Amino acid sequence: MHGTSLEEKQQQFNAFFTIEHAIRVNVKAVAAGFSLPDADDLGEHMPYAFRVASEATSMDAQTLRTLRNMGEHGEELASFLNAQSRKIDLLMSLVLQQQDDPSQAYESVKFGGGGIIVKCDEPFELEQIIELKLFLKEEASAIFCFGEVIGCEQVGEHYHVSLIYNCIREEDQDLLVRASLHLQTAQLRKRAKQQKND
Which pLDDT tens digit goes with each residue over 130-156? Answer: 999 999 888 878 899 999 999 999 999
Considering the entire predicted model, what is its pTM? 0.81
pLDDT at 3 over 70: no
Residue 76 pLDDT: 74
Residue 14 pLDDT: 92
- Per-residue pLDDT reduced to its tens digit, 141-197: 889 999 999 999 999 999 999 999 999 999 899 989 999 998 899 888 888 888 888
Q: Please tell me the distance from the alpha carbon of residue 126 to that of residue 49, in angstroms, as a whole number.
A: 30
Q: Please tell me the distance from the alpha carbon of residue 18 to that of residue 118, in angstroms, as a whole number.
A: 13
Residue 20 pLDDT: 95
Query: Could you say which DSSP state residue 179 is in?
Result: H
Q: Please tell me the distance from the alpha carbon of residue 103 to that of residue 174, in angstroms, as a whole number.
A: 28
Residue 75 makes CB contacts below 8 A (sequence gap 6+) with 67, 68
- Per-residue pLDDT reduced to its tens digit, 36-64: 988 888 988 898 888 877 676 666 556 65
pLDDT at 78 over 60: yes
